[in-house]
């Protein structure tokens, strides 16, 4: 696994991310869930510290159950954000223009698609793969 500037990493395929975060740093003050996955939302919520905020950006098709008792007792809040503003978009573009975003793009021939799918299933691909056709 390639790590680009991270102090800690967790692969949720092999370990519960919320448990890892709680164990390693005691939880987080805020989590932003962009995945369209019910388990990802659950882990983002469970990773919060007391008084934390979970921001839901992705829109999974399932309903997310929220433990009301724990939410109230721990002072946790859940908010949604469908899209950013133009200012948010400009800040994101500026962030990338300042060189703070590093992309990992690899090319492969279309004929290698079966190998690429195997690598994807094993979690061995970091970044994006662009398929090329022809020579």
Question: What is the pLDDT, as a whole number, of residue 46?
Answer: 95
Q: How far apart are CA 53 and CA 31, in angstroms?
A: 7
Q: Are 108 and 116 within 8 A, CB to CB?
A: yes
Residue 129 pLDDT more than 60? Answer: yes
- Calculate the average pLDDT of the chain: 87
Residue 3 pLDDT more than 70? Answer: no
- Local confidence band at 55 (pLDDT 50, 70, 90 cut-offs): very high
Q: How many CB atoms lie within 10 A of CB 53?
A: 16
- Local confidence band at 4 (pLDDT 50, 70, 90 cut-offs): low
Question: What is the pLDDT, as a whole number, of residue 83?
Answer: 64
The share of the chain scoring above pLDDT 90, in percent, equals 46
71-98 confidence digits (pLDDT tens): 999 999 999 877 667 888 788 889 889 9
Q: Are 76 and 48 within 8 A, CB to CB?
A: yes
20-30 confidence digits (pLDDT tens): 999 999 999 99
First-residue to last-residue Cα distance in the chain? 30
Which CATH code fits 17-82?
3.40.50.720
Structure tokens at 30: 């805020």
User: Length of the chain, please?
Assistant: 135
Residue 79 in 3-state DSSP? strand
Residue 108 in 3-state DSSP? strand
Question: What is the pLDDT, as a whole number, of residue 65?
Answer: 85
């Amino acid at each position: 696994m390639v790590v680009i500037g991270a102090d800690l990493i967790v692969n949720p395929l092999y370990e519960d991310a919320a448990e890892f975060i709680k164990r390693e740093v005691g939880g987080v003050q805020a989590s932003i869930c962009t995945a369209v996955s019910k388990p990802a939302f659950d882990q983002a919520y469970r990773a919060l510290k007391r008084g934390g905020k979970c921001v839901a950006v992705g829109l999974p098709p399932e309903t997310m159950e929220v433990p009301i008792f724990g939410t109230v007792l721990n002072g946790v809040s859940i908010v949604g954000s469908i899209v950013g503003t133009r200012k948010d978009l400009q800040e994101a573009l500026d962030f990338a223009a300042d060189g703070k975003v590093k992309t990992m793009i690899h090319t492969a021939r279309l004929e290698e698609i079966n190998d690429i799918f195997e690598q994807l299933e094993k979690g061995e691909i970091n970044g994006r793969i662009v398929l090329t056709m022809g020579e």
